Amino acid sequence: MTDVMGMRIDAPARQAQSTQPMRATIVRAAQLARDAEEKAVKRQHAKGKYTARERLDLLFDSDTFEEIGRFNGGDINDGKAGSAVITGFGTVYGRKVAVYAQDFSVRGGTLGTAEGRKICHLMDMAMDLKIPVVALIDSGGARIQEGVAALTQYGHIFRKTCAASGFIPQISIILGPCAGGAVYCPALTDLIIMTRENSDMFVTGPDVVKAATGETISMDELGGGYVHNAKSGVAHYLGEDEADAIDYARTVLAYLPSNSDEQAPVYAFASGRAEQEAAKRLATIMPDNDRQPYDVLDVIRCIVDYGEFVQVHELFARSAVVGFACVDGRPVGIVANQPNVNAGILDVDASEKVARFVRLCDAFNLPVITLVDTPGYKPGADQEHAGIIRRGAKVIYAYANAQVPMITVILRKAFGGAYIVMGSKAIGADVNVAWPSSQIAVLGATGAVNIIHRKDLQKAKEAGRDVDALRAELAAEYERTTVNANLSLEMGQIDAMIDPEQTRDVIERSLKLLSTKRRHRPTTKHHGNQPL
C-alpha cells in the first residue's frame, strides 16, 4: 500500500497511523470542559436553574449547536476552562441563529474584557451572516476587578446592539440576575422574555434602594418577571419556567425572517371545514348592545390559521392586544383593541405597546392586521400628566412610517383621534373594511349630542321637558345620520362594508394583493425625530 506521495507504508506503520496522536494539552482541555460542566450542574441545579449548555440544548434543534471560542478567555495550563459566556451558532426550526449564553457558574457570569470581546465578535458574525441573535442572560453584571475595562465592554455591546436593531431580530431571555448597566443590553433588543422565578432586572438593587430612599423591597417586587411584564412593560413574555421561556423564543423566531432584507417564511396551509366554522362564529361574537364588552381574542382566533395567536406583552396595557399569527400560511402581526378591558381605550401604556409592535413588524416585513374597536384616547388629568400627547403620538409615528402591507377592519367603535391613528387609510393603510356594526365619528352619539345640542337641552330643562328623552331622541338621530360607516364609504376612507363571516377571506385576498409591496425611500433624510 502507498500513501498519497507514492511511498510504501508497511503494516506496522499503517497501524500506528490509524489513530491521530493526541497532544496532552488537548486531553487536558477536554477534561477541563467536562469538569466545568459538572461544576455548573451542581451550582445551577441547586438553585432550580439549568446550566448555560443545558439552555442551549433547549433552544436549538438537536445536535446543531456549534460553539466558537470555547477556551477564549481561559487558561488551559492554569486549569481555567474559559470565560463566563458561551458563544456559537445553531438552528431553530432549521434556520441558523446566533447565541451568547452567560454562564453564572463561572465567576458569577460577570462580564469582563474577554466576555465583551466574545459577544461583540459573535454579533459582528451574526450581522455578516444576516441571522438573528438570542441572548441568554444570567450574570452578576460588570466584573468589578476589571473596573472601567469591563464597563467599556458594555459600551461596545450597546453599540453593536443598536447597529443590529431593525436589521436582524434580537431576543433576550433573562434567566437569572441582570442588574446595573447590564439591563440596557436586553432593553435595546426586540423582545425580552423573563421567568416567574429567578429572573430579575433592575438598575439599582434592593440594598441601594434602601440606602437611598429607606424603602425595603425584595428583588422580586423590585424587578421580578411579573413586575416587568404586568407593570413596567419592560418584558414581553412571562415564562412559567426556563423551558417555557426558551420555547417562546423559538416560537417567535418561527414568525420572523432572518433579517430585514428577507420575507418571513411561508408555511403550508390548507383551508377546510374548521375555517368555515370559525368564519360562522364571527357573526355571533359581537353583542347587540354597543356598550357591552366582548373578548377580541375570540375574533382573532376565528381569523387566523388553526386559531393560533402568539401574544406579545400579554400582561401589560391589556386594553390593547398585539401578537403574531399566520393567515393562509403567511406570518402577520395582529394589533387589536380589547373591549373587555376599559372598553378598548387607548391610554399611555397601550399607545406605546401598539407603537412598538407596529415598528417591529415594519422592520421585519410582517404585514399588520389592525382590528379596531375603541372609544378613543383615555381622558383625564392623570393621562395628560403622564404624557398622552407625547406617548400617544408614538402610535401615529409607527403607522404613518410603516411600509409593510396594512389591512384594517373596524369591528365596532372608531371614534376621534383613535380612529385616525389605528391604521386608518388616511394614515397609510392599504385596505380598510368595516363590519355592519361599525360606528365611525368624531365622538360617540351621547357625547356629541351633549356638545352640539347643549343649548337645546338647557332650554328643554328650563321648560320642564324630559331632558333624557330628548337626549336619547337626538342621539338616535345622530347615530342614524352620522355615527356609521356610510360617510367613510362615500369618502373612500373605507373600501367596503363586509359581513363578519367574510373577514378572513377579505384579509387573505388582501394579503395576496399586497404581497409584492416593498419599501421605498421617499426622502434623503437620515431618520425622523420620533416622539420618545
Does a structural domain hold residue 351? yes
Q: Which residues are paired to 172 by β-bridges?
A: 135, 192
Amino acid identity, residue 418? Answer: A
Does a structural domain hold residue 471? no
Same domain membership, residue 505 and residue 401: yes
Strands (E), 406-468: 406-415, 431-434, 439-441
Cell numbers at 212, concatenated: 437611598
Same domain membership, residue 321 and residue 365: yes
What's the rounded mean pLDDT across residues 200-220? 92
Residue 510: C-alpha distances to residues 4, 503, 506 (Å):
64, 11, 6
344 is catalytic: no
User: Which pLDDT score, from 0 to 100, does residue 3 have?
Assistant: 43
Q: Could you give the angle at the alpha carbon of 236 between the alpha carbons of 230 and 237, nearest 5°?
A: 85
Residues 6+ apart with CB under 8 A from 66: 88, 89, 90
Pick the more confident residue, 83 or 462.
Answer: 83
The total number of structural domains in the chain stands at 2
Rounded distance, CA 526 to CA 75, Å? 46
Residues 6+ apart with CB under 8 A from 478: 445, 448, 449, 452
Rounded distance, CA 75 to CA 10, Å? 41
Rounded distance, CA 332 to CA 173, Å? 23
Amino acid identity, residue 346? Answer: L
- Domain stops at, among 255, 282, 316: 255
Same domain membership, residue 358 and residue 321: yes
Report whether 173 contacts 245 (CB < 8 A): yes
Does a structural domain hold residue 14? no
Same domain membership, residue 224 and residue 310: no
Please determine, for residue 498, whether its predicted confidence score (pLDDT) is greater than 60.
yes
Q: What SS3 state is found at 520?
A: coil
Cell numbers at 354, concatenated: 401598539
Same domain membership, residue 325 and residue 246: no
Q: What is the pTM of this model?
A: 0.90
The CATH number of residue 343's host domain is: 3.90.226.10
In tens, the pLDDT along 361-372 reads 999 999 999 999
Q: What SS3 state is found at 320?
A: strand
DSSP annotation of 392? H
- Domain stops at, among 209, 228, 255: 255
Same domain membership, residue 338 and residue 232: no
Does a structural domain hold residue 374? yes
Residues 52, 355, 402, 418: which is the catalytic one? 418
Same domain membership, residue 250 and residue 358: no
Show the 3-state SS of 193-259. EEECCCCEEECCCHHHHHHHHCCCCCHHHHHEHHHHHHCCCCCCEEECCHHHHHHHHHHHHHHCCCC
Amino acid identity, residue 13? Answer: A
Does a structural domain hold residue 13? no
Q: What pLDDT band is residue 9 in, cutting at 50, 70 and 90?
A: very low
Amino acid identity, residue 469? Answer: A
User: Which pLDDT score, from 0 to 100, does residue 483 have?
Assistant: 67
Q: Which residues are paired to 371 by β-bridges?
A: 336, 409
Same domain membership, residue 414 and residue 294: yes
Does a structural domain hold residue 281? yes
Task: In the chain, count H helices and then E strands.
Answer: 21, 17
> DSSP string of 478-515?
HHHHTSSSHHHHHHTSS-EE--GGGHHHHHHHHHHHTT
Residues 108, 205, 233, 417: which is the catalytic one? 417
Report whether 367 contacts 407 (CB < 8 A): yes
Same domain membership, residue 219 and residue 311: no
Containing structural domain, residue 487: 273-444+483-514
What's the rounded mean pLDDT across residues 35-59? 86
Residue labelled with grid coordinates 409593510: 404
Percent of the chain topping pLDDT 90: 72
What's the rounded mean pLDDT across residues 402-423? 94
Same domain membership, residue 282 and residue 359: yes
What's the rounded mean pLDDT across residues 467-489? 72
141 is catalytic: no
Does a structural domain hold residue 17? no
Residues 166, 181, 205, 329: which is the catalytic one? 181
Q: What SS3 state is found at 8?
A: strand
Percent of the chain topping pLDDT 70: 88
Rounded distance, CA 223 to CA 220, Å? 5
What per-residue string of b and e applies to 124-157 under the rule 16 or more CB within 10 Å gives b? ebbbeeebbbbbbbbbbbbbeebeeebbebbeeb
Same domain membership, residue 282 and residue 172: no
Does a structural domain hold residue 465? no
Residues 74, 82, 116, 180: which is the catalytic one? 180
Amino acid identity, residue 369? Answer: I
Same domain membership, residue 323 and residue 285: yes
In tens, the pLDDT along 106-156 reads 888 999 999 999 999 999 999 999 999 999 999 999 998 999 999 999 999
In tens, the pLDDT along 307-334 reads 999 999 999 999 999 999 999 999 999 9
176 is catalytic: no
Q: How many C-alpha atoms does 165 have within 13 Å on its Cβ side? A: 16
